[in-house]
Structure 1
Amino acid sequence: MAIFFHWDDATRDLWDTAFSEAGTTADIRTVDNLGDVNDIEYAVAWAAPHGYLGRFPNLKYIFSIGAGVTHITEDPDAPLDVPIVRLQDDMLVLDMSCHIIHWVLHFHRSYYLYKQYEGEKKWLRHRYPDNGDRRVAIMGLGQTGQDACRRLRDLGFDVTGWARSPKEIEGVRCLHGEAQFDALLAEADILVNLLPLTPQTENLLDANAFTKMPDGAFIINCSRGASIVDADLLNALESEKIKAAALDVFRTEPLPHDDPYWDHPNVFVTPHAAAPSNERSAAQFIADNIRTAMSGGTPTPIVDLQRGY
């Protein structure tokens, strides 16, 4: 039994130790050292070269070194009949919540304006509403969305969450389904997108959605770039219907040098850095899941390809 491993930025000693301590195997194969492909039963990968995952006839599970799995599903040769296990660990959830809290506070307290004033040497202070008067809307109530809701609630913000199916979070108003989506938009002073990319969520935030939001609202996107119609967002920013946006994800990554987001004064670009996988916790999570599989159990969470996550 062997494991195919691919991540360009990995600290290999750390991963080898995690696999060994979990009692899995030291027989780790890479693109430069595949050996007999029939030996490979597990793949642990982030952005493996297209075609590789389809070369292992005895593959039992594919483990994504990240919460997203489009780097696997967009490979035309990927064996999508093999279960895909996505990364879900506490450090990733905490890091994403910290990113969201940072930008909520940044917009709530007008720090985005102070950065502009700094260049103009302008000494001008802005009042900001009480936290309880700022309505923050979270789209997507998986583990990460629920954690962000609770943390923002504990900071005193007026938090509403929205998901496809009903959810309950103490102290948070939870909406669900297409019928309640407009209600979410109507009270989104700050809108946070955590939805996975599916056919239903692609282009979800378009001109029609922006018109239903409060004037001068803010957007925080840390899910997938294709959830937003870029031209519509840029138009909404120009009209100041949307006051500013913090974007961590984009349709094309890295973001091309000529993309208008780079030069827009009220767009804040980060390089898909909201919640990078913590190597130590990711390695432990995946190694433990491989041990579970080797013992006849079922790793979790397995991606439902029909739902997209």
Structure 2
Amino acid sequence: MTAPTILFAAKPERWATYEPHLRLALSAAGVSDANLTLQADPAEVDYIVYAPNSAVQDFTPYTRLKAVLNLWAGVEDVTDNATLKVPLARMVDEGLTEGMVEWCVGHALRHHLGMDAHIHGQDGVWRNGDVPPLARHRGVTVLGLGALGEAVATALAGLGFAVAGWSRSAKDIEGVQTFNGVDGLFRALSSAQIVILLLPDTPATENILNADTLAQLPKGAMIINPGRGPLIDDDALLAALDTGHIAHATLDVFRTEPLPQDHPYWAHPNVTVTPHIASETRPKTASQVIAENIWRGETGAPFLHLVDRTLGY
């Protein structure tokens, strides 16, 4: 068997971070003879370890290519590439999942407990009048029940929250009341005091939070979006914040990143902007996912985490 050639196609500064982890993971997976490289003749490349913001955008010259292995969980910047004819695997990584769970749970608890009033209210006023409900009396809805959404919903249910979840297809998750379809979306939102968005960015999910769906939420609901910027109609959210129907929005992702300095979100008193940090791909655990898929490709086993490009995820 010829040793496979693996092209690392991401920002060059990421090479130093990933190379040692990839080599260790490939060795552990039984592919230690692989040629892992930053540069190669396209006609000799078997696998591309890929970031959508890399220089590789035309896959046509890669005539021996077996698979493209995405380093990011999101694949919306790849699925429409007409030159990509081989399997595309998205990143499903336990490190990424754990990081997302920690970030979402942290901000859900922050809003649930009303921490901002005390963190920002260091002005000599003794604010002891507001007592939050117990978690079991706080409705939290997770939109999107893929690997990340299911993990977040399960973690919040484990803390006692009354968790609902919505996805396009029916799901069954212990401790979580699940909904699907348009009617199910409205029902999932109707009791949601906190909404967490973890849907992929597809034509079917764009602006899923809009004037109509925001109106389904109880007054004073809070939004947490670590999913994708286009999931929210920004104008509709700002209007709902201005009227007080939505009490606060914590947003980690945006249509344009970095978020422009003149964007209204920066100055809005009821918006928290975080710089797309909810969960980063961890080189050590991501490399293990990549190495396993390369081993599978070399042994004839089916690839893991393949993208259905008709659905966009």
- Separation (CA, whole Å) in 1 of partners of 2:76 and 2:186: 28
1:102 counterpart residue number: 106
Q: Secondary structure at the match of 1:71?
A: coil
Indicate conservation of the 8 Å contact 1:131/1:156, yes or no. Answer: yes
**Pair 1:132 & 2:136 matched:** yes
> How far apart are residue 174 of structure 1 and its match?
0.9
Residue 17 (str. 1) matches residue 24 (str. 2): yes
> Partners in 2 of 1:175 and 1:267 — Cα distance?
28
Give the match's secondary structure for 2:160.
Answer: coil
Residue 85 (structure 1) aligned with residue 93 (structure 2): no
Residue in structure 1 matched with residue 216 of structure 2 by the alignment: 212
Residues 183-203 of structure 1: CA distance to partner in whole angstroms, max 9, x if unpaired?
111111100111111111001
Residue 167 of structure 1 deviates from its aligned partner by: 1.2
8 Å Cα contact 2:191-2:217 kept in structure 1:
yes
**Structure 1 residues 121-151: Cα deviation after superposition (integer angstroms, max 9, x where no partner):** 4331321011111000011111221111111
SS at match of 1:210: helix
Contact 2:59 2:84 in 1 (8 A): no
Q: Residues of 2 paired with 1:158 and 1:173: CA distance?
A: 8
Is the 8 Å Cα contact of residues 37 and 55 (structure 1) preserved in structure 2? yes
| Counterpart residue number, 1:178 | 182
Aligned partners of 1:182 and 1:56: how far apart in 2? Answer: 46
**C-alpha distance in 1 between matches for 2:110 and 2:162:** 16
Could you tell me how far apart the structure 2 residues matched to 1:293 and 1:26 are?
A: 12
- The reply on whether 1:42 has 2:50 as its aligned counterpart is no
**d(CA) in 2 for partners of 1:20, 1:156:** 42
Match of 1:292 in 2: 296
User: Mean Cα displacement is larger for which, 253-262 or 206-215?
Assistant: 253-262
Amino acid aligned to 1:28: L
The amino acid across from 2:42 in the alignment is: V
1:90 Cα shift?
A: 1.7
2:291 and 2:100 map into 1 onto residues whose CA distance is: 22
The 3 A distance-change label for structure 1 pair 20 and 54 is farther
Q: 1:121 to 1:59 in 2, by over 3 A?
A: farther
Q: Distance in 1 between matches of 2:24 and 2:176?
A: 41
Q: Which residue of 2 aligns with 1:66?
A: 72
CA contact (8 A) 2:10 2:55 kept: no
Code of the aligned partner of 2:66 = K
> Which secondary structure state, in structure 2, belongs to the residue aligned with residue 128 of structure 1?
coil
Q: Within 1, Cα distance between the matches of 2:270 and 2:56?
A: 36
2:77 counterpart SS class: helix
Give the 3-state SS of the residue equivalent to 1:117 in structure 2.
coil
Contact (CA 8 Å) 1:138, 1:193: kept in 2 or not? yes
Hey, what's the Cα distance between the residues in 2 that align with 1:282 and 1:139? 25
Unaligned stretches of 5+ in structure 2?
none
User: Structure 2 CA distance, aligned partners of 1:208 and 1:158?
Assistant: 23
Counterpart code for 1:6: A
Counterpart AA for 2:73: A
Cα pair distance change 1:145/1:21, threshold 3 Å? same
Q: TM-score, normalised by structure 1?
A: 0.93
Query: What SS does the corresponding residue of 1:150 show, helix, strand or coil?
Result: helix
Aligned equivalents of 1:247, 1:209: Cα separation in 2: 18
8 Å Cα contact 1:43/1:53 also seen in 2? no
Structure 1 residues 259 and 50, CA, compared in 2 at 3 Å: closer, same or farther? farther
Give me the whole-angstrom Cα distance separating, in 2, the residues matched to 1:82 and 1:43.
11
Which stretch of structure 1 is more off in the superposition, 199-208 or 10-19? 10-19
In the alignment, structure 1 segments of 5+ residues that lack a partner are none
Aligned partner of 1:5 in structure 2 is 8
| Preserved contact between residue 89 and residue 282 of structure 1 (Cα < 8 Å) | yes
Conservation of the 8 A alpha-carbon contact between 1:93 and 1:143: yes
The residue type equivalent to 1:27 in the other structure is: N
Deviation at residue 298 of structure 1 after TM alignment: 1.5
> Does 1:27 pair with 2:35?
yes
How many angstroms does 1:50 deviate by? 4.9
Matches within 5 A, 1:184-199: 184-199=188-203
TM-score (norm 2): 0.92
- The range that moved more, 268-277 or 20-29, is 20-29
% identity of equivalent residues: 37
Greater relative CO, 1 or 2 (CA 8 Å, sep 6+): 2
- For the 8 Å contact 1:2–1:40, the answer to whether it is kept is yes
* Pairwise CA distance, 1:225: 0.3
For 2:58 and 2:27, the matched residues in 1 are separated by 24
Q: How many residues align?
A: 303
Once the two structures are superposed, what CA deviation does each residue of 1:92-143 show, in whole Å capped at 9, x if it has no partner? Answer: 211111111111111111112223313x443313210111110000111112
Measured in 1, the distance between the counterparts of 2:283 and 2:242 equals: 40
